[in-house]
């Protein structure tokens, strides 16, 4: 499992670590309108999936806004930001920040994404910061488990991987 810290303190990640070449694990999360969403909803698209602790925090907010800005220039790529935030909070945040080019998904109900992608932090039931790129055939082509949850991911590498995925 990836060695990850949160505020410099080691955390335990529950679930299975995802690696490049794996078939992307399915998951069930909630959209902002409380509908169940899974990988099937994005069939045929490349998925750039950013797991974050909460869009209401500085780094997570900046990350989601950066990926939102980049999303419009990505061809056949759906950007997803997933957290344990409630759908209502995510919808409010998106409206306040003008975020319209990505989907925010809530894993609060089942922690299905967190466990299936190995990003659920046992100590606080939040998602660790990670980025996954999944191609249109649901193969994982890029993985970054950010070593310190309070820091930014490698945006350039993730975006380049999304552009290269088919």
CATH number reported for the structural domain that contains residue 148 in this entry: 3.40.30.10
Q: How far apart are CA 105 and CA 69, in angstroms?
A: 18
| Token pair recorded at residue 107 | 């894993």
Above 90 in pLDDT, residue 2? no
Q: How far apart are CA 146 and CA 136, in angstroms?
A: 24
Above 80 in pLDDT, residue 13? yes
Annotation marks residue 94 as catalytic: no
Residue 3 lies in a domain: no
Tell me which of 60, 102, 127, 128 is the catalytic residue: 60
Please choose, from the candidates 6, 11, 27, the residue with its C-alpha nearest in 3D space to the C-alpha of residue 111: 27
- pLDDT tens by residue, 58-117: 999 999 999 999 998 998 999 999 999 999 999 999 999 999 999 999 999 999 999 999
Residue 2 lies in a domain: no
Domain range for 86 is: 9-164
Residue 112 lies in a domain: yes
Q: What pLDDT band is residue 31 in, cutting at 50, 70 and 90?
A: very high
- pLDDT tens by residue, 43-63: 999 999 999 999 999 999 999
Residue 93 lies in a domain: yes
Of all residues in the chain, the percent with pLDDT exceeding 70 is 99
The answer to pTM > 0.75 is yes
Number of separate domains in the chain = 1
Residue 44 lies in a domain: yes
């Amino acid at each position: 499992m990836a060695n990850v810290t949160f505020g410099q303190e080691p955390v335990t990640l529950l679930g299975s670590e995802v690696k490049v070449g794996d078939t992307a694990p399915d998951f069930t999360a909630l959209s902002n309108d409380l509908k169940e969403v899974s990988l099937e909803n994005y069939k045929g698209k490349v998925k750039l999936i950013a797991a974050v602790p909460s869009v209401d925090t500085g780094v997570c907010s900046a990350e989601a806004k950066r990926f939102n800005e980049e999303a419009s220039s990505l061809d056949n790529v759906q950007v997803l930001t997933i957290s344990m935030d409630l759908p209502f909070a995510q919808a409010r945040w998106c409206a306040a920040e003008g975020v319209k080019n990505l989907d925010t998904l809530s894993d609060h109900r089942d922690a299905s994404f967190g466990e299936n992608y190995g990003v659920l932090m046992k100590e606080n039931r939040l998602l660790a910061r990670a980025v996954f790129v999944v191609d249109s055939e649901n193969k994982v082509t890029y993985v970054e488990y950010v070593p310190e949850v309070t820091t930014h991911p490698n945006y350039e590498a993730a975006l380049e991987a999304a552009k290269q995925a088919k």
